[in-house]
């Protein structure tokens, strides 16, 4: 017994197949995007051990605490220099450095030494594989930045060409 399908029934079947295939493709794409985001968010976790991540966290906290401690030591005159928008960043730094007290200079030196020791302690824990992974990650970032710069330049060129054509065509 053969079944004869009408044209309408065949069209409905083809439409259902197309819907199923489209749904499958969309689901795969969504899954890929979700996985890519997970991979990007776990960049540091994949390279560093939990202990190393804790060391980085402690280092970041130390920097933050040292900055707060130093800011608290600033006089009103020094704060005014920092807030002076007429000076550029380098000029503000130089003007501020000229006003440092011996205590502030010693505090900065101690902070710098503490952070340097924490960094050296951290570097001592990094394996050759981690060094290689970090090197590759830096290279990818460098390439990404170069590509972004090139894309920006290409966009500027296209925009300029578009403006010139618009002027010609009036």
> Domain residues of the chain, as ranges?
50-125, 130-159
pLDDT digits 0-9 by tens, 11-51:
888 888 889 888 888 888 888 877 766 555 455 558 888 99
Residue 163 vs residues 10, 28, 150, 151, 153: alpha-carbon distances, Å:
52, 41, 20, 18, 15
Q: What is the pLDDT of residue 3?
A: 66
35 close to 26: Cβ distance less than 8 angstroms: no
Q: What is the pLDDT of residue 170?
A: 67
pLDDT digits 0-9 by tens, 116-132:
999 999 999 999 999 99
Read off the pLDDT band of 52 (50, 70, 90).
very high
pTM for this structure? Answer: 0.56
> What mean pLDDT do residues 138-142 have?
94
Residue 49: strand, helix, or coil? coil
Which ranges of the chain would DSSP assign to H, the alpha helix? Answer: 7-41, 43-47, 50-73, 76-83, 89-98, 102-123, 128-169
How many C-beta atoms surround the C-beta of residue 20 within 10 A?
A: 10
- Give the separation between CA 166 and CA 159, rounded to whole angstroms: 10
> What mean pLDDT do residues 92-106 have?
93
Query: Is the pLDDT confidence value at 151 over 70?
Result: yes
59 close to 122: Cβ distance less than 8 angstroms: yes
- Pairwise pLDDT comparison (43 vs 146), residue with the higher score: 146
Q: What is the pLDDT of residue 60?
A: 94
- Give the separation between CA 42 and CA 101, rounded to whole angstroms: 44
Query: Is the pLDDT confidence value at 95 over 80?
Result: yes
Q: What does pLDDT average to over the chain?
A: 88
């Amino acid at each position: 017994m053969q079944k004869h399908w009408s044209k309408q029934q065949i069209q409905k079947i083809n439409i259902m197949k197309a819907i199923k295939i489209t749904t499958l493709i969309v689901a795969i794409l969504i899954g890929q995007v979700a996985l890519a985001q997970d991979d990007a968010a776990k960049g540091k976790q994949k390279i560093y051990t939990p202990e190393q991540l804790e060391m980085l966290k402690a280092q970041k906290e130390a920097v933050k605490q040292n900055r707060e401690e130093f800011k608290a030591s600033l006089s009103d005159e020094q704060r005014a220099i920092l807030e002076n928008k007429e000076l550029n960043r380098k000029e503000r730094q130089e003007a501020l450095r000229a006003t440092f007290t011996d205590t502030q200079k010693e505090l900065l030196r101690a902070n710098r030494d503490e952070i340097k020791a924490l960094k050296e302690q951290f570097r001592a824990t990094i394996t050759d594989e981690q060094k290689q992974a970090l090197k590759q990650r830096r290279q990818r970032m460098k390439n990404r930045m170069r590509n972004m710069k090139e894309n920006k330049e290409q966009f500027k060129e296209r925009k300029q060409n578009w403006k010139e054509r618009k002027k010609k065509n009036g």
